[in-house]
Amino acid sequence: MEIIVQTKTKHYPIYISPEGLEKLTNLIQQNEYTKLLVITDETVGPLHLDTLLSALPKEADYSVYTVPSGEKAKQMAVYESCLTFALQEGLDRKSCVIAFGGGAVGDLAGFVAATYMRGISFLQVPTTILAHDSAVGGKTAINHPLGKNMIGAFHQPDAVMYYTGFIKTLPEHEIRSGFAEAVKHALIADPKLLNMMMSSIDSLGDLTDEQLVQILQRGMEIKANVVSIDEKESGLRAILNLGHTLGHVIEASLGYGKTTHGEAVMVGLVYALHLSRAVLNLSFPVGKFTNWAIQLGYTMEIPKELTFAEAYAGMQRDKKTVAKQPRFVLLEAPGKPVVKEVDKTILEEVFQQLKQQNK
């Protein structure tokens, strides 16, 4: 299965396969990289590095650098140590970084590639469902103590190679995290896929290869289409933010690592759906959707200690905010997103209703 991402700066393929990484071998051979630097994390390396290494061409000159798992990978000190390693290993401008892991490794390794010698090639080999989102679009970043993803660059990979076999070892809460982004993609652009998901997936523990390929493929196509039109996020790309205005606030309120990104986004999706009903008369069974999410193991809770005043202040810090007015991605219908300001009283009303439901 192949998708082509076409941006102003570059076009490149995404491959998804339940069989293996055979395309990776060919691509590395064709591109004649002088050296490969595989960046992986402490969890993914022991589980899957052998599979990745066995897909590298026999003659490939490669080194492997292992970083801490999760957000710890995106620290400035880790970034610097990757650069030191790359210099010590003699990577040059024709070398290539392979990001082998989830979104955190992808963001870090992508930023290393974006900045090493003013930018070298990189390949994304994602190992999480969430990475169907993060591996496409060319945003790379590390964190600053004062804010997540505050230091970064747009840098498109040469290719994305998804082998669904890697996902089999993903813990269920990480599957839930990535699946929420897939639901988001379906909500903004593919009502049929959403129906398929809601009618045929009642447990995330036993997604079939066929379902996984379909969900990842459509999710990446949708993201790729949006990114092709608006690579640097000056307009349309904001629709990918559905569910994230409140989602980010919940993630920050609980503390990063206490919940997964996607689990917080799922609450944000339900909030955005209720707002869409209130503001745009969206016709959509939000109750049924919420029950489905609960059945899949999402907690769907706004943290008890999070007051509306704090949530509103957090929403004002969102990047979509203009003149202190938070803006939301809403749906006129599934597949028809719009970006809109919402009256503060409606925001509070819906927020309090959702909080009540958790009691």
Task: Decide if residue 221 touches ligand NAD (CB under 6 A).
Answer: no
- Taking the alpha carbons at both ends of the chain, their separation in whole angstroms is 45
CA-to-CA distance for 158 and 11, rounded, in angstroms? Answer: 8
Residues 6+ apart with CB under 8 A from 80: none
Looking at beta carbons only, is 44 or 160 nearer to ligand NAD? 44
DSSP 201-262: -S-STT--HHHHHHHHHHHHHHHHHHHHH-TT-SSGGGGGGTTHHHHHHHHHHH-BTTB-HH
Looking at beta carbons only, is 131 or 272 nearer to ligand NAD? 131
Task: Decide if residue 244 touches ligand NAD (CB under 6 A).
Answer: no
**Binding piece for ligand NAD, criterion CB under 6 A, among 69-77, 81-89, 206-214, 296-304:** 69-77
CA-to-CA distance for 208 and 168, rounded, in angstroms? Answer: 10
Residues 6+ apart with CB under 8 A from 159: 12, 13, 14, 15, 23, 27, 123, 124
Task: Decide if residue 246 touches ligand NAD (CB under 6 A).
Answer: no
Dihedral of CA atoms 176, 182, 188, 192 in degrees, nearest 10, equals -110
CA-to-CA distance for 232 and 240, rounded, in angstroms? Answer: 13
- Give the interface size with ligand NAD as a residue count (CB under 6 A): 30
The tokens describing 50, both together, are 């052998």
Among 158, 174, 190, 251, binds ligand NAD (CB under 6 A): 174
* Chain residues 256-295 in contact with ligand NAD, contact rule CB under 6 A: 261
Among 177, 214, 245, 290, binds ligand NAD (CB under 6 A): 177
Q: What is the DSSP letter of 162?
A: E
Looking at beta carbons only, is 101 or 337 nearer to ligand NAD? 101
Task: Decide if residue 247 touches ligand NAD (CB under 6 A).
Answer: no
CA distances from 184 to 1, 22, 38, 205, 285 (A): 22, 30, 30, 19, 15
CA-to-CA distance for 133 and 282, rounded, in angstroms? Answer: 26
Three-class SS of residue 285? Answer: coil
Min. distance of Cβ 181 from ligand NAD in angstroms? 7
Among 12, 78, 96, 102, binds ligand NAD (CB under 6 A): 102
Task: Decide if residue 17 touches ligand NAD (CB under 6 A).
Answer: no
Looking at beta carbons only, is 107 or 301 nearer to ligand NAD? 107
Q: What is the DSSP letter of 157?
A: -
Task: Decide if residue 103 touches ligand NAD (CB under 6 A).
Answer: yes
Task: Decide if residue 51 touches ligand NAD (CB under 6 A).
Answer: no
**Binding piece for ligand NAD, criterion CB under 6 A, among 5-13, 161-169, 190-198, 205-213:** 161-169
**Binding piece for ligand NAD, criterion CB under 6 A, among 37-45, 55-63, 287-295, 330-338:** 37-45
Give the contact letters, 120-149, x = binds to ligand NAD (CB under 6 A), - = no. -------xx-xx-xx--x-x---------x
CA-to-CA distance for 247 and 319, rounded, in angstroms? Answer: 13
Min. distance of Cβ 353 from ligand NAD in angstroms? 28
Looking at beta carbons only, is 177 or 290 nearer to ligand NAD? 177
**Binding piece for ligand NAD, criterion CB under 6 A, among 80-88, 98-106, 276-284, 326-334:** 98-106
Residues 6+ apart with CB under 8 A from 162: 14, 15, 16, 17, 125, 126, 132, 135, 216
Cβ neighbours around 88 below 10 Å, total: 9
Q: Give the interface with ligand NAD as residue ranges (CB under 6 A).
A: 41, 43-44, 47, 69-71, 74, 101-105, 107, 127-128, 130-131, 133-134, 137, 139, 149, 166-167, 169-170, 174, 177, 261
